Structure 1
């Protein structure tokens, strides 16, 4: 019955309102533990996403680009191509409703309250590795290995790396012009974003990054970005760290050669810093270096580079000056990494403490733990080899041994309950008997009888009793009761429709 567009609109508004109430109800309860608090945040996040999705659908309906809503409202008002006929539209709609209930005699109003209440009890699936310990720590071992195996990294301990990765601005700028560094920075940013979204699902990361970007643009324009001050790379040419000779002082190659301070060795160092060939005469070296004054390195012909430098550059080994836009992109990623490290500062501190705690274990303590595990494993294997003595045939517990007899009596596991609807299946204990009304076996039996498995049929295990109760419910709802005085229709000579009672009264009064 919810196929009409107006009914879909009403149901969507109702869903949004229910979700809003559930969010308020969930946030009013204080979670007892950090894990429950995280579950609560993810539940609220999921409900917010559902509200957003449903609201977007409502916006599309109200925009009514295909005029479907407008046509439906007009049809309800009886507007047709031949004119307006309100009564015809009303009876057509009434006929449609009756036809629906004739095809679905067991139709009933579905209470979605219980379904929505289940959202407050669910535990969202959140992926955490063992090292992360449910979001308490960071797992940076893979990034730590990338850092050690790179040209820009240092040979440091993992605990020291936990301080280094939060300060990308301290890495020398000449080492940032590597493809390898860009790849490392992208992986670091992706991991921090992934970690932040799992541990802080209610935070608006897009808004945080938008603020970071706007502040970065202002600092970049003024040349005040930390680690990227304005004396660095300009206009996409080589940065001054690479160039030991200031080419702006010379207008021609002859001026460069004629400078007393510039000799063969200084030219060679300048070319080597740029990855260019260092051989040839002084004039050839000067001409090769002078090309970089007006041409970025990535635009130069490959023949000017030293052998093997171009291939190494593609692999990210040799520092290669980037364009201004590339440098800006790297600097922006560093700003985002720094911001996320500030937001995850508490988690980073806990990670350092956890690593130090693990390293503090002595060799003797580690050996003691290993021996204890071996003894426990041997005892478990010995217990499995022994034959289990169970003369009372008690049920087995979680440890593979018979449960205590007092527990057996407490839960009434010696009491048998049979259910005819489940095919005379036996349930032992009151708890299992009450639980089986919601399980698949009982639901299948009720479905075969054509009876909905609602709370009204709890504690009913007889097929005959279930059928009698279903008939009483149908009579109470008025689904099978025929009322000729109200539902039998008569038509007079003018085409007016009346029910039997009204038609008889009018005929008795001589009005028809």
Structure 2
């Protein structure tokens, strides 16, 4: 009769080796599309997680904190923990087996031996993992329609929260795609609010969730660990961008209000523009009196810019205040810790945006493209995407096509011949500065792009009509010069009625309008 722990150990090692072989076999296949690559990454990630969980169970068995494994090994060798011989151990185990069998006779339908249960468990795990990692049933990954299966970012919810906040200005969604990845450019005095901290938490959570779905093989914990280590060093040295003062003071803010940074105000009149409510909150945070007019509050608060709290007259403090020592000094470390957390979240967001740079660029291009398309063009594009998705799903079971030269695919779903590739010049690159230095491969694609949305959007940004006159023009300077020349020619060839409108006198003589009017005024006609 085999021992339970040793059987579990053997099954665990077998499971780890089997999963490792499955991982290697899966990674040897080159995905045919981005969707297949994402499915492959999630399959491998799930297998890695299972390997990790199984390994942790094996570690617990090998640690043998309750000495159960040691006893089973000794029992297999003819010795037990009490030092009995092999025969005593055998009869003890036989007696235990008879008791188990006697109980099983009472309810045989519920009797399953330990070894059979373990083998059945291993078999079920094998069938479950084979079904889970088969290509017929890909992993379930949740994406919104706007994200297009991880190709684009969906930032609309965060965009609405951003434009409705007090620390931001109303901007277009396309402009927000450039702004959200640069939180350090927001004024520091606007960051010292709870609303900004909540916004950063939601933004970081959203980016982390998207990154885990699109890059499951990346170790995000290790990335954030390095970001935190570098941040701590820079914070201690006062080198964190836009947070130099807090970093240099190393967590000790010089007795300034928790909400208002007085470094940005040079006079009391400027400080009054903050408003009575914010002045009241800042005074209350320092334990000062909060009453009076807006000017009195601003004057009282402005005193703390050059005078430490402990040197202020007691008349400025509120009744029942704990004193300048507790109100100012005790609040400073707590505020510094809060600002440090905000700065760390900004550092993590910037790192994630660097890793998702290509996705952010694609998202912005997609937004600009939709803005330039008509309703009919958007419907045609949607239908084309649906047809392409159906084609990809039908081709999932087909064998992967060998294409080492990365040739374009033909109408039959196979790479086009190499001579046709060279004939059409698909290896020749054309760049268009008006399209943002976008590359077009082949003369045909280059000529066609002058009527496409990207070039049209670029010409619209330059304020130039996209007519046939500007075909083959890819330089911004050349387009501007040609447009100025066209405008000048239109001014020269403009019809001028004073010189070109004709009049006839009684004798049949022809004059222009200006000459005829002058002669008539002089009485000669």
Q: TM-score, normalised by structure 2?
A: 0.55
CA-based RMSD: 4.2
SS of residue in 1 equivalent to 2:245: coil
Aligned length: 337
- Partners of 1:289 and 1:10 lie apart in 2 by 74
- Listed one character per residue, the Cα deviations across residues 292-338 of structure 1 (whole Å, up to 9, x for unaligned) are 75459xxx97889xxxxxxxxxxxxxxx9971111111000000000
1:342 matched to which residue of 2? 354
1:26 aligns with 2:26: yes
1:225 aligns with 2:243: no
1:238 aligns with 2:234: no
Does 64-73 or 87-96 show the bigger shift? 87-96
- Partners of 2:295 and 2:36 lie apart in 1 by 73
1:327 matched to which residue of 2? 339
SS of residue in 2 equivalent to 1:226: coil
1:120 matched to which residue of 2? 133
1:79 matched to which residue of 2? 79
User: Whose relative contact order is higher, 1 or 2, with alpha carbons under 8 Å and at least 6 apart?
Assistant: 1
- Partners of 1:72 and 1:280 lie apart in 2 by 83
1:59 aligns with 2:59: yes
1:200 aligns with 2:200: no
- Partners of 1:117 and 1:265 lie apart in 2 by 73
- Partners of 1:154 and 1:55 lie apart in 2 by 52
1:170 aligns with 2:188: no
CA positional deviation for 1:178: 1.1
Does 12-21 or 158-167 show the bigger shift? 12-21
- Listed one character per residue, the Cα deviations across residues 119-140 of structure 1 (whole Å, up to 9, x for unaligned) are 4314111111111111111110
1:357 aligns with 2:369: yes
- Partners of 2:83 and 2:3 lie apart in 1 by 25
CA positional deviation for 1:242: 2.5
CA contact 2:42–2:217 (8 Å) conserved in 1: yes
Q: Which of 195, 199, 204 is the matching residue for 1:189? A: 204
CA positional deviation for 1:76: 2.1
- Listed one character per residue, the Cα deviations across residues 408-465 of structure 1 (whole Å, up to 9, x for unaligned) are xxxxxxxxxxxxxxxxxxxxxxxxxxxxxxxxxxxxxxxxxxxxxxxxxxxxxxxxxx
Q: TM-score, normalised by structure 1?
A: 0.56
Could you say if the C-alpha distance between residues 302 and 365 of structure 1 is closer, same or farther in structure 2, counting changes exceeding 3 Å? farther
CA positional deviation for 1:29: 1.1
- Partners of 2:299 and 2:8 lie apart in 1 by 77
CA positional deviation for 1:96: 8.4
CA positional deviation for 1:281: 12
CA contact 1:166–1:341 (8 Å) conserved in 2: yes
CA contact 2:161–2:199 (8 Å) conserved in 1: yes
1:6-405 aligned within 5 A = 6-80=6-80, 83-90=83-90, 112=123, 116-121=129-134, 122-230=137-245, 234=249, 235-236=252-253, 237-238=255-256, 241-243=261-263, 265=269, 274-275=279-280, 276=283, 277=290, 279=292, 289-290=302-303, 293-295=307-309, 323-362=335-374
- Partners of 2:336 and 2:167 lie apart in 1 by 20
- Partners of 1:194 and 1:302 lie apart in 2 by 47
